[in-house]
């Protein structure tokens, strides 16, 4: 930046002070230069940050006024999670599982968009106002069931969990408790099926599409007419955060 542009960009008081101090010999020429240098650097950094945040704004696809589940899944979910969710739901569809299980598979890791730890619980809470109790239950308990094999249906302890938690990992007591509850529950198999479809769904190159699920979502997910994040439900703020994740507060 040249000196004239720099001085023009300074606040009036800053420019006047530098000129006055230089004229009176209060600040040595070299000191003025270094003050100018620091200020120029700061201004350039601020400009770069503004450019970066403008670019980020541009990258975020626009949502409709009343966004629904498909919009959030397509435009706000991280690509890796979206791909995994669609693969899980595809697996359920290919096996002719009931539509509510297909939907539970499609939603099972939605909580990851909020937090990875305890994401089954976060996700279940997020969808509760909009799905049947059965779908909510299946998503909630997949968190615990993933840690426990069930040889009767061929579900083994995930390799991934050995890599993540180590060989001798024992799930925490609240997960063990949840497993005991789920194991005895009449809906156990719903959640177990989610964990099974989950396990087959980590192919990063899999080609997936939301299309096969649009009607199922229409039948089993109650999109609020105001849009997710705008309906004043007990979880509206969580959806609102998903729709607009870059706000500073």
Contact residues for Fe ion, defined by CB under 5 A:
109, 198
Least CB distance to Fe ion at residue 123 (A): 8
Q: Which of 198/231 has CB closer to Fe ion?
A: 198
CB atoms within 10 A of CB 211: 9
Least CB distance to Fe ion at residue 112 (A): 7
CB atoms within 10 A of CB 233: 16
Q: Which residue is nearest to Fe ion (CB)?
A: 198
Q: Which of 67/111 has CB closer to Fe ion?
A: 111
Least CB distance to Fe ion at residue 108 (A): 6
Q: Which of 18/92 has CB closer to Fe ion?
A: 92
Could you tell me the two tokens for 109?
Answer: 């890791």
Least CB distance to Fe ion at residue 203 (A): 13
Least CB distance to Fe ion at residue 114 (A): 13
What is each CA distance from 180 to 7, 69, 145, 176, 196, in whole angstroms?
71, 32, 9, 6, 18
Q: Which of 121/130 has CB closer to Fe ion?
A: 121
Q: Which of 71/109 has CB closer to Fe ion?
A: 109
Q: Which of 63/119 has CB closer to Fe ion?
A: 119
Least CB distance to Fe ion at residue 163 (A): 15
């Amino acid at each position: 930046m040249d000196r004239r542009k720099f001085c023009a960009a300074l606040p009036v008081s800053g420019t006047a002070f530098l000129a006055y101090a230089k004229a009176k010999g209060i600040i040595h020429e070299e000191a003025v230069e270094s003050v100018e240098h620091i200020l120029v650097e700061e201004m350039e950094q601020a400009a770069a940050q503004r450019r970066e945040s403008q670019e980020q704004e541009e990258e975020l696809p626009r949502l409709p006024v009343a966004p629904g589940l498909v919009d959030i899944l397509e435009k706000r979910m991280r690509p890796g999670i979206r791909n995994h969710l669609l693969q899980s739901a595809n697996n359920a569809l290919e096996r002719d599982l009931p539509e509510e299980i297909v939907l539970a598979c499609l939603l099972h890791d939605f909580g990851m968009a909020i937090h990875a730890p305890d994401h089954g619980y976060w996700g279940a809470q997020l969808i509760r106002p909009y799905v049947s109790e059965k779908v909510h239950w299946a998503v909630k308990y997949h968190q615990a069931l993933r840690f426990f094999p069930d040889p009767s249906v061929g579900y083994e302890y995930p390799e991934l969990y050995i890599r993540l938690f180590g060989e001798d990992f024992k799930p925490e007591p609240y997960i063990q408790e949840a497993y005991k509850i789920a194991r005895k529950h009449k809906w156990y198999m719903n959640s177990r099926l989610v964990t099974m479809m989950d396990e087959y769904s980590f192919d990063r190159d899999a080609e997936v599409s939301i299309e096969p699920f649009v009607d199922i979502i229409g039948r089993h997910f109650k999109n609020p007419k105001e849009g997710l994040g705008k309906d004043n439900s007990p979880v509206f703020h969580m959806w609102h955060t998903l729709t607009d994740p870059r706000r500073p507060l």
